[in-house]
Amino acid sequence: MEAFAITGGVLIDGTGKPPIEKSIVVVEGSKIKSVGKEGEIALPDGQGAKVIHAEGQTVLPGLIDSHVHIYTDGESSEFYSLPVNNNHLTLAMKSIPRLKRTLEMGITTLRDGGSGWNWLEVALRDAINRGDIPGPRYFATGYHLTVTGGHGYFLPPWLANISVHPEQSTIHCDGPNEWRRAARLNIYNGTDNVKVVASRDIISPGLATAPQATREELKAAIDEAHKMGKRAIAHAQGPEAIMNAIESGADSIVHGFFMDEECADMMAKKNVYLESTNLYVRMIVDRGAGDLPDWMVQKANECWEDRVRNFKMYLEKGIKISLGSDAGVPYIRQGDNARELSMFVQLGMTPMDAIIAATRTAAEAIGIAHKVGTIEEGKIADIVLIDGCPLENIDLLHDEDKIKMVMKEGKVIITRTPAPESK
């Protein structure tokens, strides 16, 4: 059983406790054996045990992103033409290096927010688990569920006559029975979650906050997820759609733009997580003019203004905010996920709270906090070393040169420091 001792670094363990200077983290096999200060924790026994010297570095749990779309990689003008130029097998192959880069950037766990495309996520997840391809721990969501003509379906109506299209991200369904069946179909094909679309969006024409599915439709799908022990994620913008999703039992709200105080109170009361995707709108505001339609850029500006106005209200209400970068949407490449943490800090989070959002809270949102998300005895050894202190500069967490080591399940995936010495 391979053993490591990571010594001398400043430990931020993801629990919210104060950092531990001159820390030691002992890893045996895939698990964390012990955590504490140097001199208080024994080094691992046995020949070949390795010491990783982390002086001047910060020791963190592997970061967790609870919302990406692996089938895309920051395309903007090409976003709607993906089905013309790719099939699901092509996009599955393109996703393999994206997963590798994401892992090497310190994101050791991902939840896909729904890529569809013939359930390519399930195949990718299983390939990672078998060891066929490198990647983060990966959770599949499959096709979005949306009403006919709803957000998330990116083919024109004359090509939208296939109920489950192999080159599409979304299933059209109408009425509770169809929503129930679509959720069952996703689960039958091996997904870990169910994703429902409760409103329109910035990138779909029309009012971004317009509600779509009824509560009865949303509840039918969400109930199917919960019956099978799965989480339910809801795309929702605007008070009516957000409240519909909350009252239907959604575990997480994606985006949440134009949320009012009543919704915020209800989310906090019901322990519903927010994947706030701030970078998504900021990037369209900054880079969309002349590339994306004017109506899309205008909606992004409105969403950003809303977020600047209200983000601190979410924090004051006690909403649990999880890192959900929406990586893959326009201008956000896979692997750049942690740039969302800089948005958190810009909007009013402390750097420590941003780190917690990307570790413990994200693990809770996915339902795996008993395994990962913090550096504690008995947890899986997903560990990242950062050159410098992200509490002073959160941007370090998405600076490739500053990510000095990534460990997943006790195995060093990449190191940008000298090789560890043998004892």
DSSP string, 71-92: T--S-STTGGGHHHH--HHHHH
- Spatial neighbors of 402 by CB under 8 A, at least 6 apart, are 386, 387, 388, 396
Q: Which helix (H) or strand (E) holds 409?
A: none
Grouping H, G, I as helix, E, B as strand and the rest as coil, residue 70 is coil
- Spatial neighbors of 281 by CB under 8 A, at least 6 apart, are 202, 257, 300, 303, 304, 307
C-beta separation of 237 from 257 below 8 A: yes
Q: How far is CA 227 from CA 140, 183, 222, 241, in A?
A: 17, 11, 9, 23
Closest residue by Cα to residue 88 from 142, 153, 167, 143? 167
Which CATH number applies to 63-337? 3.20.20.140
The whole-number pLDDT of residue 112 equals 98
Which residue's entry shows tokens 């985006």? 255
Q: Which two tokens stand for residue 271?
A: 């322990």
Grouping H, G, I as helix, E, B as strand and the rest as coil, residue 259 is coil
- Domain ranges (residues) in the chain: 3-61+374-422, 63-337
C-beta separation of 181 from 189 below 8 A: no
DSSP string, 91-120: HHHHHHHHHHHHHHTTEEEEEE----TTTH
Closest residue by Cα to residue 409 from 109, 133, 66? 109
The whole-number pLDDT of residue 314 equals 98
Q: Which two tokens stand for residue 278?
A: 């701030």
Which CATH number applies to 3-61+374-422? 2.30.40.10
Q: What is the rounded distance in angstroms from the CA atom of residue 55 to the CA atom of residue 53? A: 6
The whole-number pLDDT of residue 73 equals 96
Q: How far is CA 339 from CA 100, 178, 279, 398, in A?
A: 18, 38, 7, 6
Give per-10-residue mean pLDDT for the chain (423 aa): 94 97 96 94 79 96 98 85 90 98 98 97 98 98 96 85 89 97 98 98 91 97 98 98 98 98 98 97 96 95 97 98 97 98 98 98 98 98 98 98 98 83 59
Beta bridge partners of 170: 144
Q: Which two tokens stand for residue 308?
A: 């600047």
Q: What is the pTM of this model?
A: 0.96
The pairing of beta strand 403-408 with beta strand 411-415: antiparallel
The whole-number pLDDT of residue 155 equals 83
Per-residue pLDDT tens over the stretch 111-163: 999 999 999 999 999 999 999 999 999 999 999 999 999 998 888 888 877 88
**What's the burial of 281, exposed, middle or buried (CB within 10 Å: 0-12/13-18/19+)?**
buried
The whole-number pLDDT of residue 423 equals 56
Beta bridge partners of 412: 407
Side-by-side strand order, sheet with 137-139? 63-68, 107-112, 137-139
